[in-house]
Structure formats: C-alpha cells, structure tokens
Structure 1
C-alpha cells in the first residue's frame, strides 16, 4: 500500500482520537472524522484526511476506511489495536492506541479542531454520535433524507452555506495553486 501524506495524517488522527476520547469504536470514529473533515472544509475548502463519506442509514461513513477496519492494513494495525468488545448494548469494535500521537503533520487549525471535537465528544457513545450527524441542515441529512440518495457520496461543499460556497472554494483553489509553486522540500509548506 502506498503511504501518502493524507494517509499518514488519517492514521495519526485515528491515534489522536484513540488517545483523547473514551468509548472509541468504529461508529464514533467515523463520525469524529466526518466532523473534522467537514468543519475543516468549511473553514478552508479542503479536508484533513482526504476521506470521502457516504450517506449510510447510521450516518456518514468513510467507505475506504470502513473496508479496512475489520482487517486493517499494516500501517493502521501498527498504529491502533482494533478488537471486538462486549458492551451493554451488544458487541462493538473498540479502537485503542498502539503508539503515541505525533502531531507533526498538522496545522494549528487542524489541531484546534481535533482537540475541540475530542473535548466535545469525549464520553459520547456511538448512538450519541449518530444522532449528532442526523441533525437537519447537515450534509448527511441533505443527501440521505432530503434528496433520498441512500449510500451516495456526501459532497464536501454541503458543509458550506450556499452564499459562502464560492468564496471558500476560491480560497481553497488559491491555496492549492500556491502550494504547487512551492519547492518540494521537507519543512516547506503553508499552515
């Protein structure tokens, strides 16, 4: 498997949430990643992890990660321990960290968002997280309930109000163009 910058960030975000929340199972993880990516997109025009989310009955699901979670590739298996655990409401896949969180790949904004989500949802259960993603006017609700596109991909631009969409996307494109002009050297980048 090719390890990209986005893949490294994704693995480290999972490690972060495994260290900084309680009751982390796959459902809670998916929702935390969704909130992180969509809020970051709303602010900057780009996601943190590069994941794509689909509108499934229990909320947004990053299908690529979902396909790996029960039989994780080596990079994920070395970063977190995923095991079935018995709970009051049945079995869940519990996620625990196997290594320390690095944090070196993240901007201050990304770190602030991750800390805020971990604090807000520290003790949340999977059911709490599902409920939070089903609120009206959120992207999952628009695709799944309003448009009736069950299993469809949830476009990131739904994170931004229609009257803000053009400005956010313009800033994201300007940033992308600027990054493409920078030399490809370690330590060179924009927050």
Structure 2
C-alpha cells in the first residue's frame, strides 16, 4: 500500500527522533512531534506531519498516534518497534528504529528544524519537556484552559503569536494550504 507524502513524513519524523535522541519514549516523542509541527506552522503556516493534536492534562497529544500506539499500522510498524524498558521505578515505552531515516521527504527548513529540536532535546527526559509544551500563553495552555478544554483540538493558528510581525502572512499561507488540501481531497 502506498503511503501519502504526509504519512511518509510522519513516519520519517519519528525515525529521525528515534535515531537522533536518547531515551525516546512515547511521551517524549509526542512532545517532539508537537514542537516540530507547531514551530514549523509558526514559521510557514503548515505543519510537517499533518497530525491533529488534542489537549490532555499531561499536554498535547497526537490523536492518530495515540489511537494506534498499541497496534501500530503497517507503515509505522515496519519503521519502529516499541520496547518496554524499565527505568528505576517505571516502564518507558522506548521507540527503537528499524529503518534508516530518509531525508528526501523533507524541505531544507524542515530538516533544519528536525535537527535543531533533536539537538536541543537529545538527552532531555520527557518530564523536563513538560514546561516547553505547557508554556503559559502557548497553544496547549490556550486550549486546555485549566481543564475546560480537555480533549479539544489544539488549533495550529495558536502557534502564531498575536503580536508576530508576520502573523497575517503566515495565517494567509495557512489558509492557502488548507484550500489546496481541500481541493485535492475532492
């Protein structure tokens, strides 16, 4: 079965983080994907992976990945393995790559962003990343609203600060990308 370009980027982004960071468990992976997608959207008006994120108590969660975590779909199942790993008092669901990363699916900007995020969080454990994804006035916090937004979709538009000098241009680009995607689905 052929994967769409977006699905392939989703799998390849996971492979990149699996190859380029340490202690990559489920929570850390969720946070890295969120940072990748929302930072890329802030810069360009579109995400990298096309994932939809929901506001949960522990932070932003990529809904489609959560749904398949225990039973990975074919493309992801061929790319990674989830291995239980005991870490002192708990078990981490470690992501182990089964394939090499293929950079051909990404733009130069996307590759730079993957590299920067992986480098910044290479040795960081998931608990230490919570502050980054729970930042006051960040997209998760604006959606979560002290629990009132539980399980709501975190809108990508929230990644673009109200006072950003390029806010209108980024949001116009987002509308353009959304229009193109809608036309392609028809």
Determine if the TM-score, normalized by the shorter chain, exceeds 0.5: yes
CA separation in 2, counterparts of 1:130 and 1:41?
20
CA separation in 1, counterparts of 2:74 and 2:159?
32
Cα deviation code 1:13-70 (max 9, x no counterpart): 0000000000000100000000000000000000000000001011000011111112
CA separation in 1, counterparts of 2:180 and 2:59?
35
- Contact 2:85-2:91 at 8 Å conserved across structures: yes
CA separation in 1, counterparts of 2:153 and 2:2?
24
Where do residues 76-87 of structure 1 align in structure 2 (5 Å cutoff)? Answer: 76-87=76-87
Residue 59 of structure 1 is matched in structure 2 by 59
Q: Secondary structure at the match of 2:124?
A: coil
Q: Secondary structure at the match of 2:103?
A: coil
Question: In the comparison of the two structures, how many residue pairs are matched?
Answer: 180
Residue 139 of structure 2 is matched in structure 1 by 139
Residue 24 of structure 1 is matched in structure 2 by 24
CA separation in 2, counterparts of 1:4 and 1:149?
31
- Contact 2:57-2:147 at 8 Å conserved across structures: no
Cα deviation code 1:89-116 (max 9, x no counterpart): 4012100110100010100000000000
Cα deviation code 1:68-102 (max 9, x no counterpart): 11211121111011121111240121001101000
CA separation in 2, counterparts of 1:132 and 1:63?
19
RMSD: 2.1
Query: Structure 1, unaligned stretches of length 5 or more?
Result: 181-191
CA separation in 1, counterparts of 2:159 and 2:145?
16
**Using a 3 Å threshold, how does the CA distance of structure 1 residues 6 and 175 change in structure 2: closer, same or farther?**
closer
Could you state the TM-score of these two structures normalised by the residue count of structure 2? Answer: 0.89
* Aligned-residue offset at 1:166: 2.5
**Using a 3 Å threshold, how does the CA distance of structure 1 residues 91 and 178 change in structure 2: closer, same or farther?**
closer
* Aligned-residue offset at 1:2: 6.3
Where do residues 1-191 of structure 1 align in structure 2 (5 Å cutoff)? Answer: 3-145=3-145, 148-164=148-164, 165-174=167-176
**Using a 3 Å threshold, how does the CA distance of structure 1 residues 166 and 147 change in structure 2: closer, same or farther?**
farther
**Using a 3 Å threshold, how does the CA distance of structure 1 residues 19 and 179 change in structure 2: closer, same or farther?**
same
Q: Secondary structure at the match of 1:104?
A: helix
Could you state the TM-score of these two structures normalised by the residue count of structure 1? Answer: 0.87
